[in-house]
Structure 1
């Protein structure tokens, strides 16, 4: 026994030296990989394989862990035998991991994949208006694109005439035809400078320019990348001034490369300055086209009286053939049948005159009319608020509404959820009035503001001296003239360079101050801003905040997200009106003083606080009105109070939050997670992300889960877990990975009212002892299930089991899963049955079976074959071995079968023999199974099945 105890201690020094050597060898391999990676990427326009990125991340992780072990060894006395034995075992484990990682870093198949592959994505279609005019313009541009002698095409016309709409159609048509190797769309906007334009082009190329700020080097990288593409079409939308193509890094189009560049602009001289070989003017609509469009917008089935129709035609003439003006005015007059209102509308349009240089009279008149005819003053205020964001910015609806609420727009509504409903209703009304547009990203709810409508909003607010909007600009000192700040209620300095923020004048009316993503690290004072309600300092370089922050007694929202250098926040004891506190992505070690005074706090976000050492007992539970708590990727993981012996808050503090609706939390282990599950506190939540294990997050991905209102459980890497339970109500995604001892799902059979009706995705991966996924009782409640993914569960014989003793007769009762789209099964060598009952899956599109040799039947009969099926993937050997209830079933499904090469199985078996989690992950990625990184699992943009 003595030898068994002291043997690890005796070899500790020797093993420590061995570990240092192995880590040094691994670091050399890491340097070689990174050098080859950078060289290959720069020379050939490639990007790292996902397995290479994961390997580099794992190398950094083991180096960090080894550093921690050595630090602990240096601090632990020789007398602490038990602790030193534990560290000695860790040293032995790290030696094995380092050797294994070094071997895995050979990458004989190469480090990179093609970076510049043409995308098949198209923009949401926009209806072309004007059968003659617009189609004639569109046809002319397309003819130029087919002409090898024309490389640079300028498209110009007044604002609102439809240039972007025409180019959107061309973009989509060209992508579908495949004439070019890559089609690139960049929105330039008024505030663009050379650096921003280079960033936008490189983003479209998936090219990182973060390593250099030198404009010449950046242009060289873009030039190299574009030359590697081959034949490209570059669309530069909304140019306000000319740029030299060589300064950006864009190759000159010629007959040899057959590349094309098209730009749209309001100014013909921009086309000349850019060297257009063909210049095309987009004309306004004819009277007949204008009238057709107007009637469509006021309602195709809405009949105007003869008297009103004549006035309506005069109204259309005032729009001067501009589609944007016609659309917004038509939306404002939809359903109006009072001739007096029509006469007044015509007078308003005739009398409106612009006061903004560069905004055409007719455009301004139409848009001002549409603004004046919005439903309520709240609608107009909410519309004007959107002008605080940069031109062409995609504004996250939830974030926007949160600022509206904090700024007092919905003070009469006490319930936060109802206030959000009100906000979304207003956004719907503004889109219905054509004053806002839908954003282009499907994963979250965005809106955009047409640049002309933003110009209108800025003109209106500038006239009243209530807004200061200095976005994407070099502001210098702010404010320059403090005498002009008396009436200002909202200030936006987003994405701007500011040397100093110090305001000595009285700003008693200032309610919103947006300083997001600005280049400044020091703020001198928030004095004289006692009525400030919204303060956004997100994405800035600030290292500290002035003590005057504590004087903002009326502050409702304090947003300091992604300030990675901020280590401390002043006392919040006086900020008793605070509703939203966002400290995600900061470097704070402790919560600010005065947290227990925030009795009105509704939202607390502390995700990605990677240095947060302590959450005191009662600091969270004292926030009695808290509705939303986010702490994913924080250093502070949640356990029970008993485990911490009273040193810090635990699960019990969370359970006391009776008003909580959203919860994003990391648990320290499975015991703490199960403790929370048993509390049933989750029954009151409408959004949650509950995780166990070592995960890697991106803060933006966390926000997406938060805004999407998903309910996700992810349990990862728990060696001691032999069973797992999880919340059932509202659950939308269940992700279980790397549980080596998991054998059962700990769920009682559903009783009346129990169901998993909201569950959309089930994912079980690398649980070698797991015998089944769900019981038949729970499986038949999955009415919204879309995906089933099961891999590397070697003990599984039946995926869905009947827990009751109900006899074979029940096998004839089918189970209906109306929304199931995909079934993916990987490396289940003992799986004999997916489900003994017949499945009726009317939406099923894909079945993917990989290395499941015992699976001899698919759970479909000739009477229940899914008409939506597109593909069945598997090996020829597996397909030929399948048994069928009816010969016609196989005949019908044969046309959908797509053979997966046998080499895939040989590769899998070889790698499984080597038996590492990382290699399993790599194989999984190579086979297009979803990567087990939460970032990709929760992001529709970054992970596609």
Structure 2
């Protein structure tokens, strides 16, 4: 009986010895876990600092940090606080005596806590690769533009749409003489195309003949909801525009270019195919297209006779044309004098709408042939 008892006691003692040995080893090697935690926290702080700088820069550019990024930064902050708490308790409460902690239970719980924090920190380090730090959620994707009728332009419009959807083309130039309808075509594109594209923003800018760099930059700043500062240099504005536009799938529409636009000076990143970004512009000369790095040129021609007649008829209601054969003949001759220019046809239709007699139409035809500049609205014909 005594032998059995002694044996049982020894078994229990050996079991306790093994358990205590394992627990002691677990507790005593806590220093290595704490060192790893401190190292990983330091690396996480470095990554967090990089992300914070990116977020701050995006915020200065008027952009809104993405929720996933803010959530990650919040989690990092929480884990930094947790690591500091663990370090503080380690230094204050777990004191060693002969390489063994006085409070074994506290040391055991603290190591478990440290290992959990270490695992979370490593997960945060692995999930730091964000595709985008911020979005401009307040950015208006497109703004509809008032436009005139584009009767007879369906063929060239379809050509423009086809090229705009081609990812191998980034810069498209539309050229043709004044009054041929370039502005109307580009405005129609601005109004109709955005619903079919993946673009983040479609920007339409109509440039004056003697436009200045500051005017172009100011228009882009306004459209992108960026803060304009008068004291900032052109170069700094260009840098800011470049940084913002580089994060977007943009379509820039420049109407009425009289001379080449320097993308770099303005701050516009030149799209490199394949790309969803596009730069589309109108100009009177083919030479401007060449200097703008155009990959596809579209030449706009005057309307053919029947298309010109339809545009004239549809631009203003004139029942007198249907009611009076003689007036209809004069109207046909007037349309021919316009040479198929859409702008001239529209202005002429609006000017002739109130004319009810054959004599008035005959008089208008005489003026059109001899002194066309005297017709109402003639100066508007040559704007496009």
TM-score range, shorter chain: 0.5 to 0.7
CA distance 1:368–1:42, shift in 2 (3 Å)? farther
In structure 2, what is the equivalent of residue 40 of structure 1? 56
Task: Work out whether residues 122 and 175 of structure 1, in 8 Å CA contact, stay in contact via their aligned partners in 2.
Answer: no
Q: How many angstroms apart in 1 are the aligned matches of 2:263 and 2:319?
A: 50
Deviations 1:91-135 (A, max 9, x none): xxxxxxxxxxxxxxxxxxxxx97336552444156454324xx11
1:184 has 2:200 as partner: no
Deviations 1:568-608 (A, max 9, x none): xxxxxxxxxxxxxxxxxxxxxxxxxxxxxxxxxxxxxxxxx
Residue 263 of structure 1 deviates from its aligned partner by 0.6
- Structure with the larger helix share: 2
SS at match of 1:228: coil
Is contact 1:298–1:335 with CA below 8 Å preserved after alignment?
A: no
Question: Is the partner of 1:272 in helix, strand or coil?
Answer: helix
Structure 2 vs 1, CA of residues 160 and 370 (structure 1 numbering), >3 Å: closer, same or farther? same
Matched residue, 2:258: 240
CA distances 1:721-772 after superposition (whole Å, capped 9, x unpaired): xxxxxxxxxxxxxxxxxxxxxxxxxxxxxxxxxxxxxxxxxxxxxxxxxxxx
Q: Does 1:306 align with 2:325?
A: yes
Deviations 1:455-510 (A, max 9, x none): 9xxxxxxxxxxxxxxxxxxxxxxxxxxxxxxxxxxxxxxxxxxxxxxxxxxxxxxx
What aligned pairs does 1:441-480 form with structure 2 within 5 A after superposition? 452=382
Higher relative contact order (CA 8 A, sep 6+): 2
User: Retained in 2: the 8 A contact 1:235–1:261?
Assistant: yes
Deviation of 1:282 (Å): 1.5
Deviations 1:393-448 (A, max 9, x none): xxxxxxxxxxxxxxxxxxxxxxxxxxxxxxxxxxxxxxxxxx9xxxxxxxxxxxxx
2:149 aligned with 1:143: no
Take 2:362 and 2:318, find their aligned partners in 1: how far apart are those partners?
21
How far does residue 43 in structure 1 lie from its aligned partner after superposition? 7.1
Distance 1:147 1:121, change over 3 A: closer
2:277 alignment partner, one of 259, 263, 266: 259
Mapped partners of 1:120, 1:228: distance in 2: 14
1:255 CA drift (Å): 2.1
Q: Is the 8 A contact 2:204 2:253 kept in 1?
A: yes
Structure 1 position 115 matched with structure 2 position 136 = yes
Larger radius of gyration: 2
Is 1:222 the counterpart of 2:238? The answer is: no
Q: Is the 8 A contact 1:304 1:337 kept in 2?
A: no
Residue 267 of structure 2: aligned partner: 249
Count of aligned pairs between the two proteins: 265
Q: What residue number does 2:39 align with?
A: none
Q: Distance in 2 between matches of 1:166 and 1:203?
A: 24
TM (normalized to structure 2)? 0.62
SS in 1 for 2:279: strand
State how far apart, in whole Å, the 1-side matches of 2:209 and 2:244 are: 26
Q: Which SS does the other structure have where 1:254 is aligned?
A: coil
- The aligned counterpart of 2:47 is none
Gap regions ≥5 residues in structure 2: 1-51, 66-132
Residue 312 of structure 1: how far off its partner (Å):
1.4
- What residue number does 2:303 align with? 285
Runs of 4+ in 1 over 3 A off after TM superposition: 36-39, 41-49, 124-128, 450-453
TM-fit CA distance, 1:239: 0.8
Judged with a 3 Å threshold, the aligned counterparts in structure 2 of structure 1 residues 324 and 142 are, in CA distance, closer, same or farther, namely same
Q: Deviations over 1:161-209 (max 9, x none)?
A: 2112111221122222242121111112212111211111121111124
RMSD: 2.9
Mapping for residues 836-915 of structure 1, pairs under 5 Å: none
> 2:352: which partner in 1?
333
Greater fraction strand? 1
Mapped contact 2:142–2:201 kept (Cα < 8 A): no
Secondary structure at the counterpart of residue 280 of structure 2: strand
Give 1:315's aligned residue: 334
CA distance in 2, matches of 1:48, 1:114: 5
Are the counterparts in 1 of residues 170 and 275 from structure 2 also a CA contact under 8 Å? no
Aligned partner of 1:610 in structure 2 is none
What is the DSSP-based 3-state SS (H/G/I as helix, E as strand, rest coil) of the residue aligned with 1:370?
coil
- The answer to whether the Cα contact below 8 Å between 1:198 and 1:219 also exists between their aligned partners in 2 is yes
Question: In structure 2, how many angstroms separate the alpha carbons of the residues matched to 1:281 and 1:328?
Answer: 23
Asked if 1:200 corresponds to 2:219, the answer is yes
1:285-312 Cα shifts (integer Å, max 9, x gaps):
1111111122234525332422222221
Task: Tell me the secondary structure at the aligned position of residue 172 of structure 2.
Answer: strand
CA contact (8 A) 1:197 1:248 kept: yes
Partner of 1:742: none
Q: How has the CA–CA distance of structure 1 residues 219 and 173 changed in structure 2, closer, same or farther, with 3 Å as cutoff?
A: same
Query: Does the alignment pair 1:347 with 2:328?
Result: no
Change (3 A) 1:291 1:451: closer
1:777-792 pair list within 5 angstroms: none
Deviation at 1:276, TM superposition (A): 0.8
Matched, 1:369 2:370: no
TM-score normalised per structure 1: 0.26
CA contact (8 A) 1:295 1:330 kept: yes
Structure 1 position 168 matched with structure 2 position 187: yes
User: Partners in 2 of 1:309 and 1:278 — Cα distance?
Assistant: 41
CA contact (8 A) 1:120 1:176 kept: no
**Consecutive unaligned residues in structure 1, runs of 5 or more:** 1-35, 50-111, 353-364, 373-434, 436-449, 456-945
Does the 8 A contact of 1:44 with 1:228 survive in 2? no
Other structure's SS at 2:193 match: helix
* Contact kept in structure 2, 1:316 and 1:326, CA below 8 Å: yes
Alignment check: 8 A CA contact 2:142 2:202 kept: no
1:298–1:149 CA distance, 2 compared to 1 (3 A): closer
Shift of 1:224: 0.3
Instruction: Report if the CA contact (8 A) 1:45-1:115 is conserved.
Output: no
The residue matched to 2:376 in structure 1 has which SS? helix
SS at 2:252 equivalent: strand
Alpha carbons 2:209, 2:258 under 8 Å: kept: yes
* From 274, 296, 314, the counterpart of 1:296: 314
